[in-house]
Amino acid sequence: MPKPKFNVHERCLLTALENSIIPLTARALADMLGIGWETSSRNLNKLHSKGFVDKTTSGNRTYWHYKK
């Protein structure tokens, strides 16, 4: 099976989520990584569609976590 290819933002987001003990919002990840919220959100959705992260919605917030 070929190794998945990730862009730099996807790699950073995956690493941050792998190392987090709690799910994080796109805004929190963006602030941690010094990237824009839109960039964070777009790349998290890409990772979700590829099956590498999961999301949970609570109220109007979406929390992302690494899919183990």
Q: What is the pTM of this model?
A: 0.92
pLDDT digits (tens, 9 = 90+) for 26-50: 999 999 999 999 999 999 999 999 9
Where are the domains positioned within the chain? Answer: 8-66
pLDDT digits (tens, 9 = 90+) for 50-60: 999 999 999 99
- The domain 8-66 is classified under which CATH number: 3.40.50.740, 1.10.10.10, 3.30.450.20, 3.20.20.70? 1.10.10.10
Is the four-CA dihedral 64, 51, 12, 21 of positive or negative sign?
positive
